[in-house]
Amino acid sequence: MPATRRARSTPSRKPAPQDPGLLKIYSQNVCVLPVGGRETWLQPASLIGSVLLPIFLISTLHSSPLLLVSTTTILLTTAFFCPVGYLLAAPLWAGSNLFSHDYKAERLACLADRLAVPGTLEPAYDVVLLQELFGCWYSDVHRLELVRLMKQRGYLYHAMPSCSLLSILPSFWANSGLAVFSRHPLSDAASHTFKNQLFYDYWLVNRGVLGATVDAPREKGGKLRVFSVHFGPPVSVLTFFSFVPVAVMEFFDKYRQQISEVTSLVVAASPLPSVVAGDMNCVPSSPHYATLKSCLLKEAGLETCCPGFERKTAKATANPRGERALTGGKRTPKVLDYVFANGGLAGRCRCGVGGMKVRGREFEMISDHAPVEATIKF
């Protein structure tokens, strides 16, 4: 199956006017897992299946007909409600989130309101690039609801990858979770699944990049290519692999290969200027960020729109202080999200970290990642 697939691009009513000469871009990892993830019904199903699986294997080896029939029946029943990849690969994670709930629908409703001009249903941005808006083969309810809410607020075009089971293979759970929303027409939308997947992502999620051409008005720069990107976290930053020798971690790491795949897509978009934004899963002081700059920026002609993010005093974009519903408030705040551009756009861009606090709700913030907001002046 080819790694690059066509994505849906849907028009609707005529857009509302906005500030001339300014192109406003919003990028955020919204942390919306597939239906059941961090919800109370899927975790017990995953745990039941994970306990029964070794019993099933033992009963098969010892040829115990009664045990084999009973465990097979329960396993098949569990698998009907629980994705196979989740069942086999995430039992410990499921157990740690057994009684958690992450308020997906409520947080997306708050996000849609935040993306509108305050007090109106008019779009506050020209283009919105999202990550971790996951769709899965057994339910796509959250993505479809956000599309409806965004259309109400003037984001009349969108592009998202398919989440049918055949389209997401070898993942058994979710697609890439990427999305593009725009108040301007979109064309040539294409979802690219990384050919080089990390071993802990391979069966669960399609890391990749979603590209689309935005037909912005001439006063906003005209056509440009936008990419929503979500790199897999480098093996070396995952604490549960800290006991593994560095050479082994580097052998299994796919970060550089994923950067190369994005670079090729940006180069292919020439002569249109490009904006690349998303959760890059590396901090500015890391060797992975240095690789990102030396490969993606140099070879594709990209420049950072957010040079201030490289300072030690930069405001964190991930695990912001005060967020507890999704992280438990125990994770270290850090910068992981960036915006890059070529074609001279970076020099005309102002970039900052947006707010996302919510009051009077069961959760403190819209996501465990703050939005990155970029304004390009023409």
Domain edge (last residue) among 96, 117, 139: 96
Which of 96, 119, 141 is at the close of a domain? 96
Query: What pLDDT score does 295 carry?
Result: 79
The answer on 142 and 232 residing in a single domain is yes
> Which 3 state secondary structure label does DSSP give 5?
strand
- The answer to whether residues 128 and 146 touch, using CB atoms and an 8 Å cutoff, is no
- 272 contacts 308 by C-beta, under 8 angstroms: no
Determine the pLDDT at residue 35: 78
CATH number at residue 108: 3.60.10.10
133 and 51 in one domain? no
Same domain, 47 and 64: yes
In terms of domains, do 166 and 242 share one?
yes
Residues 107 and 59 in one domain: no
Whether residues 47 and 137 share a domain: the answer is no
The pLDDT profile of the chain, 378 residues, written as one tens digit per residue, is 444 555 655 544 444 455 678 999 999 999 998 877 776 655 566 666 666 666 666 666 666 676 667 666 666 655 555 555 455 444 444 444 545 678 999 999 999 999 999 999 999 999 999 999 999 888 899 999 999 999 999 999 999 999 998 999 888 788 999 999 999 999 999 999 999 988 778 888 899 999 999 999 999 999 999 999 999 988 766 655 566 666 666 767 889 999 999 999 999 999 999 999 999 999 999 989 998 988 777 889 999 999 999 999 999 999 999 998 888 888 899 999 999 999 999 999 999 999 889 988 989 999 999 999 999 999
pTM recorded for the entire structure: 0.84
Q: Does one domain contain both 122 and 234?
A: yes
H/E element, 168: helix 165-168
The reply to whether 151 and 298 lie within a common domain is yes
Residue 119: how many other CB atoms lie within 10 Å? 6
Total residue length of the chain: 378
What domain count does the chain have? 2
On whether both 89 and 207 belong to a single domain, the answer is no
Q: 156 φ, ψ to 5°?
A: -90, -5
**Are 135 and 253 in a shared domain?**
yes
Q: How far apart are CA 358 and CA 366, in angstroms?
A: 7
User: 3-class SS at 358?
Assistant: coil
Query: Could you tell me if 126 and 162 lie in one domain?
Result: yes
Structure tokens at 73: 């029946």
End-to-end CA distance of the chain: 41
Q: Which domain covers residue 90, as residue numbers?
A: 42-96
Question: Both 212 and 256 in a single domain?
Answer: yes
For residues 82 and 53, what is the distance between their CA atoms, to the nearest angstrom?
13
Distance from C-alpha of 173 to C-alpha of 137, rounded to nearest angstrom: 7
Q: What is the pLDDT of residue 182?
A: 98
